[in-house]
């Protein structure tokens, strides 16, 4: 039987991706109700999908057709809405970042545990087919010992009146909090735990209070190094959104896989036998890059269905609330390292 979903925060990513791509097409899911604080938006989205709408969280949580709640509101609202949902007996999928602070994040997890409901985090990029394939190649040793990883995610995000991602109080930060948290979570999943980091962030081009650019330097527990670089001030047509993982036997490069789309490219440069030192560094005509096929997976549907399976089978969600808390810890620690001007342990 399909799980009934209530959506809290019906605009933005919910209406653009999660509802039409994640919930509606899946036989495991059923959209039961939508809620938004803006009456016109709630009505428009409800009408669009043919479901009841409301501006009241309490009304949505009282709906017996709602078994799971997807929260896609400003970060400042996550704690209150997630805990209320849990207390109403609803399983909770919270968009990233999980909360404004680690304490708020811990309270969300504790509230779900006390209520006996599942809690998941909205890091859908784990489900991208190219990232799944990269994970497989890394784990099977195809790259040898991993020594470096990079995730670069940029876009054009000019000042917009009322945009909560451009407010410290509502969003908790800018490019690092919104984009960087995806990259930090993904690299730690691919390479292993981060043990120390340093960071630079600033507002270089945009006229708003939060950071529009950030660069994070990482040291992983296994010794590998890494970089996360994110920005709100690169034209979309110029953003390659590159994922790069290098090791002693080869390297992987993915382009345009960081983001909301399921496709683009993954290329492996794995020469096989690694010879001796070539002082001439001759590379022309010797490239061994090969496109790596991967399944085009709709990340939002995969995310919703993975959560439903955890609900029905009783296991921990693959991208759990704990995953979200860890990603939040890394992100907030990066801000702290930048302010301290030094490496900090994680």
Residue 243 reports pLDDT greater than 70: yes
| Contact assessment for residue 243 and residue 206, using Cβ atoms and an 8 Å cutoff | no
pLDDT at 275: 66
Query: Phi-psi category of 187—alpha, beta or left, where left has phi over 0 and alpha has psi -120 to 50?
Result: alpha
Q: In CATH, what number is assigned to the domain containing residue 208?
A: 3.30.360.10
Mean of the per-residue pLDDT values of the chain? 96
Q: Which of 54-68, 192-206, 271-285 has the lowest mean pLDDT?
A: 271-285
Classify strands 29-35 and 194-202 as parallel, antiparallel or unpaired: unpaired
Residue 18 reports pLDDT greater than 80: yes
Average pLDDT over residues 110-132: 98
Residue listed under structure tokens 């930090």: 184
d(CA 97, CA 330): 11
Strands (E), the chain: 3-8, 29-35, 53-54, 68-71, 91-94, 119-121, 146-154, 194-202, 213-220, 225-231, 242-247, 251-255, 265-269, 289-291, 344-345
Average pLDDT over residues 139-161: 97
What's the distance, CA 106 to chain centroid?
18
Residue 272 reports pLDDT greater than 90: no
Residue 279 reports pLDDT greater than 80: no
How many angstroms separate the Cα of 147 from the Cα of each of 150, 220, 228, 250? Answer: 11, 9, 15, 10
d(CA 155, CA 190): 23
Task: Identify whether residues 144 and 56 lie together within a single domain.
Answer: no
What is the per-residue pLDDT across 78-101, written as a single tens digit (0 to 9) for each? Answer: 999 999 999 999 999 999 999 999
Task: Identify whether residues 46 and 11 lie together within a single domain.
Answer: yes
Query: Which band of pLDDT confidence, cut at 50, 70 and 90, is reported for residue 334?
Result: very high
d(CA 4, CA 49): 14
pLDDT at 304: 98
Residue 182: closest CA among 237, 228, 144: 228
Structure-model confidence comparison of residues 271 and 291, the more confident one: 291
Task: Identify whether residues 244 and 110 lie together within a single domain.
Answer: no
Average pLDDT over residues 284-311: 92
pLDDT at 163: 96
* Structural domain span for residue 104: 3-123+300-321
Task: Identify whether residues 23 and 119 lie together within a single domain.
Answer: yes
Task: Identify whether residues 30 and 69 lie together within a single domain.
Answer: yes
Three-class HEC string of 217-228: EEEECCCCEEEE
pLDDT at 257: 97
Residue 287 reports pLDDT greater than 80: no
Q: In CATH, what number is assigned to the domain containing residue 77?
A: 3.40.50.720
pLDDT at 281: 67
Task: Identify whether residues 262 and 221 lie together within a single domain.
Answer: yes
Task: Identify whether residues 152 and 253 lie together within a single domain.
Answer: yes
Task: Identify whether residues 133 and 196 lie together within a single domain.
Answer: yes
Structure-model confidence comparison of residues 62 and 280, the more confident one: 62
Task: Identify whether residues 134 and 227 lie together within a single domain.
Answer: yes
Average pLDDT over residues 231-239: 96
Residue listed under structure tokens 């949505």: 60
> Nearest-5° angle of CA 141, CA 143, CA 149?
120
d(CA 41, CA 341): 43
How many angstroms separate the Cα of 214 from the Cα of each of 151, 228, 256, 320? Answer: 12, 8, 19, 26
Query: Which band of pLDDT confidence, cut at 50, 70 and 90, is reported for residue 147?
Result: very high
Task: Identify whether residues 134 and 275 lie together within a single domain.
Answer: yes
Task: Identify whether residues 108 and 149 lie together within a single domain.
Answer: no
d(CA 232, CA 214): 9
pLDDT at 280: 63
Task: Identify whether residues 118 and 182 lie together within a single domain.
Answer: no
pLDDT at 284: 66
pLDDT at 111: 98
Order of all β-strands in the sheet with 213-220: 289-291, 265-269, 251-255, 242-247, 146-154, 225-231, 213-220, 194-202, 344-345
d(CA 344, CA 346): 7
pLDDT at 1: 76
Average pLDDT over residues 48-75: 98
Q: How many domains does the chain have?
A: 2
Query: Which band of pLDDT confidence, cut at 50, 70 and 90, is reported for residue 277?
Result: low
């Amino acid at each position: 039987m399909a799980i009934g979903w209530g959506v809290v925060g019906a605009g933005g990513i919910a209406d653009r991706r999660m509802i039409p791509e994640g919930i509606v097409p899946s036989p495991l899911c059923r959209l039961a109700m939508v809620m938004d604080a803006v009456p016109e938006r709630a009505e428009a989205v409800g009408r669009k999908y043919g479901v009841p709408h409301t501006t009241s969280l309490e009304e949505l949580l009282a709906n017996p057709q709602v078994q799971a709640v997807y929260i896609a509101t400003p970060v400042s609202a996550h704690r209150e809405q997630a805990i209320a949902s849990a207390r109403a007996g609803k399983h909770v999928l919270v968009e990233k970042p999980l909360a404004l602070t680690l304490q708020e994040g811990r309270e969300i997890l504790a509230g779900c545990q006390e209520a006996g409901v599942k809690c998941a985090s909205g890091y859908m990029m784990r489900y991208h087919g190219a990232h799944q394939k990269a994970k497989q190649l890394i784990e099977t040793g195809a790259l040898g010992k991993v020594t470096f990883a990079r995730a670069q995610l940029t876009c054009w995000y000019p000042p917009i009146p009322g945009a909560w991602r451009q407010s410290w109080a509502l969003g908790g930060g800018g490019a690092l909090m919104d984009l960087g948290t995806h990259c930090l979570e993904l690299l730690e999943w691919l390479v292993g735990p981060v043990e120390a980091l340093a960071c630079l962030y600033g507002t270089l081009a945009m006229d708003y209070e939060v950071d529009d650019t950030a660069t994070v330097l990482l040291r992983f527990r296994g010794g590998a190094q890494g970089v996360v670089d994110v920005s709100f001030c690169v034209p979309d047509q110029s953003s390659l959104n590159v994922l790069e993982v290098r090791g002693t036997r080869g390297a992987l490069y993915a382009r345009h896989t960081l983001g909301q789309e399921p496709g683009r490219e993954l290329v492996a440069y794995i020469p096989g036998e690694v010879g001796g030192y070539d002082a001439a560094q001759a590379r022309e005509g010797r490239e061994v890059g090969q496109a790596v096929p991967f399944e085009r997976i709709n990340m939002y549907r995969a995310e919703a269905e993975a959560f439903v399976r955890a609900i029905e089978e009783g296991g921990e969600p693959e991208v759990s609330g704990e995953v979200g808390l860890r990603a939040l810890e890394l992100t907030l620690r990066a801000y702290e390292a930048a302010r301290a001007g030094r490496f900090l342990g994680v």
